[in-house]
Amino acid sequence: MGYLDNILFAIILCLGFGFFGVNIKKIIRNIKLGRDIDRSDNPSARWGNMALIALGQSKMVKRPVAGLLHIIVYVGFVIINIEVLEIVIDGLFGTHRIFSFLGAFYSILIGSFEILALLVLVAVLTFLARRNIIKLKRFIHSDLKGWPKSDANYILYFEVALMSLFLLMNAADFHLQLLGFGHYEKAGAFPVSQFIEPIFNGMNESTVMLLERAFWWIHISGILVFLNYLYFSKHLHILLAFPNTYFADLNPKGKFDNLESVTNEVKLMMDPNADPFAAAPVDENAVPVKFGASDVQDLNWVQLLNAYTCTECGRCTSSCPANITGKKLSPRKIMMDTRDRLEEVGKNIDANKGIFIPDNKTLLNDYITPEELWACTSCNACVEECPVNISPLSIIIDMRRYLVMEQSAAPMSLNAMMTNIENNGAPWQYNQQDRLNWKNEN
């Protein structure tokens, strides 16, 4: 009978990690639906970016208030997880505070966890206030209507609950330690929960013990539930920020990729020795090249990783000149739409035994409208702002490429501009022979 707890704990742990593993596999499969792109170059610069931007949060602090609060939650989250290690060992082996043999060091650990937990609570409550009371513009934006708004709040409620449970658990433990009850030997320091401890005064000792166990169980189960919630939530960024910053584009932001498929054709066109009547080489298995992107499978896997990484903070949208001036384009929505469509395609594949059955929908039009795409000035403000180096711009450009090269669906005035370039080498209707006239004009 004594092992019942441990077995139950092991089962919960396995289920928690098992489900999470299944969903992570699904995410990896979905990301791999994207086109291939080589991002294996310059590993040292990539590790550097990851260390600085993901681990070091260097871009978060560009907005100091949110940045500082975020660092508190981030550091708290990482460090308090050391405590989770102890909880897991205790749970599996039926021990109680297994690390307490560390003595004074253990007190320092527990003490700092408590202080961090309190700071996290304060930060998270501030975040809730920013979203629901102060109502910062980027958090009440139309992008976030419905699930995204709830998702953001659920994450914060979760964190409030987990931190509170942690402190309550310690408070009950400390109360029992003070009474010298059962196996609750003096261990740890409780700079925060000592102030909660008096609430147990006057309670029956076994009731307090029951409460302590209840807090412990709910806390660890809550962590496992939260872990599994990640897959359904924007909160995935806590994991994906790392690969995302690693695989981000290292080129100057102004450099857009040159489509290789186009290069081949243009070279052939310009080659005076090419035989215009030569039959194109026939490759039975060749998939016709599609220029640009109309759906998620046309994007590259880094762009799809970007979509799963986006935590919908909206810094991109709040700095986008189009969005600031009331246009429909919102870089954040580009990322959210890409993820939603990718999830839809993934579910389609799950439902059809591993094969995608066309559903008469595409990322273009069903999620992202041409009006949004044409409002972009390609100014790179969104890319600059993103704390984890996501590029909404690259998706916008790939979709414009589809509109122009596959559908000839550019706005009329842009067609006129392009015709001018084609005919006379300038976006306006001037003769190329007049290019140097300015020299003699006054």
Partner 1 sequence: MSEVLTVPTMAEMMAQGQQPEVLFWVGCAGSFDDRAKKITKAFVRILNRANVSFAVLGTEESCTGDPAKRAGNEFLFQMQAMMNIEVLNAYEAKKIVTACPHCFNTLKNEYPELGGTYEVIHHTQFLKSLLDEGRLTIEGGQFKGKRITFHDPCYLGRANNVYEAPRDLIAKLDAELVEMKRSKANGLCCGAGGAQMFKDAEPGNKEVNVERTDDALEVQPQIIAAGCPFCNTMMTDGVKNKEKEGEIKVMDVAELIANAQDL
Report residue 113: phi and psi, to 5°: -60, -45
Nearer to partner 1, 176 or 376 (CB): 376
Residue 61 as a binder of partner 1 (CB under 8 A): the answer is: no
Min dist CB 272 to partner 1, Å, is 11
- Of 142, 204, 325, 360, the one binding partner 1 (CB under 8 A) is 325
Q: Is 290 in the site for partner 1 (CB under 8 A)?
A: no
Of the residues 95, 194, 319, 348, which one makes contact with partner 1 according to CB under 8 A: 319
**Residue placing its CB nearer to partner 1 in the complex, 192 or 396:** 396
Stretch in the footprint of partner 1 (CB under 8 A) among 104-112, 147-155, 316-324, 332-340 = 316-324
Nearest CA among 333, 308, 300, 156 for reference residue 231? 308
CB 305 within 8 A of CB 247: yes
Residue appearing with tokens 């490429």: 401
Phi, psi values for residue 72, rounded to 5°: -60, -50
Which one of 44, 251, 285, 360 is in contact with partner 1 (CB under 8 A)?
251
Is residue 377 near partner 1 by the rule CB under 8 A? yes
Residues 195, 188 contacting (CB under 8 angstroms): no
CA–CA separation, 10 vs 220, rounded Å? 12
Under the binding rule (CB under 8 A), the answer on residue 273 touching partner 1 is: no
Q: State the minimum distance, in angstroms, from the CB of residue 419 to partner 1.
A: 9
Report H helices in 32-132.
43-49, 64-93, 104-132
* Least spacing, CB of residue 6 vs partner 1, in Å: 54
Among 263, 289, 347, 350, binds partner 1 (CB under 8 A): 263
Q: What is the DSSP string of 151-186?
A: HHHHHHHHHHHHHHHHHHHHHHHHHHHHHT-TT--S
Does residue 259 bind partner 1 (CB under 8 A)? yes
Q: Establish if 2 lies at the interface with partner 1 (CB under 8 A).
A: no
How far lies 236's CA from each of 91, 232, 241, 253, in Å? Answer: 26, 8, 8, 25
Q: Does 428 bind partner 1 (CB under 8 A)?
A: yes
403 binds partner 1 per the rule CB under 8 A:
yes
Rounded to the nearest whole angstrom, what is the least distance from the CB of residue 299 to partner 1 in the complex? Answer: 14
Nearer to partner 1, 136 or 324 (CB): 324
Q: Collapsing DSSP states into helix, strand and coil, what is residue 133? A: coil
Member of 255, 281, 287, 354 binding partner 1 (CB under 8 A): 255
Q: Are 36 and 300 in contact, with CB atoms under 8 Å apart?
A: yes
Query: Is 256 a residue that touches partner 1 (CB under 8 A)?
Result: yes
Report in angstroms how near the CB of residue 415 gets to partner 1 at its nearest: 9
The single residue among 327, 344, 348, 366 that binds partner 1, judged by CB under 8 A, is: 327
C-beta closer to partner 1: residue 56 or 370: 370
* Distance in Å, CB of 265 to partner 1, minimum: 7
Check residue 427 for interaction with partner 1 (CB under 8 A). yes
Partner residues linked to 300 by β-bridges: 35
Name the minimum Å distance from CB 325 to partner 1: 4
Residue pair 167/192 in contact (Cβ under 8 Å)? The answer is: yes
Non-local CB neighbours of 363 within 8 Å, separated by 6+ positions: 293, 294, 295, 296, 337, 338, 341, 399
Q: Is residue 201 part of the contact set for partner 1 (CB under 8 A)?
A: no
- Binding of partner 1 by 70 (CB under 8 A): no
Task: State yes or no: residue 350 binds partner 1 (CB under 8 A).
Answer: no
* Alpha carbons 288 and 130: distance in angstroms, whole number: 49
Question: Which tokens in the block code for residue 83?
Answer: 């405590």
| Encoded tokens for 75 | 């550091």
d(CA 314, CA 139): 7
Sign of CA pseudo-dihedral 197, 199, 205, 210:
negative
Paired tokens of 329: 């384009």
> Do residues 229 and 154 lie in contact, with contact meaning Cβ atoms separated by under 8 Å?
yes
For partner 1, which is the closer residue by CB, 5 or 384?
A: 384
Given the complex with partner 1, which of 199 and 417 has the nearer CB atom? 417
Told to check if 37 binds partner 1 by CB under 8 A, we report no
User: Does 269 help bind partner 1 (rule: CB under 8 A)?
Assistant: yes
Contact footprint for partner 1 (CB under 8 A): 251-256, 258-259, 262-263, 265-267, 269-270, 291-292, 319, 321-322, 324-329, 371, 374-381, 383-384, 397, 399-405, 410-411, 413-414, 416-418, 421-422, 425-428, 430, 432-439, 441-442
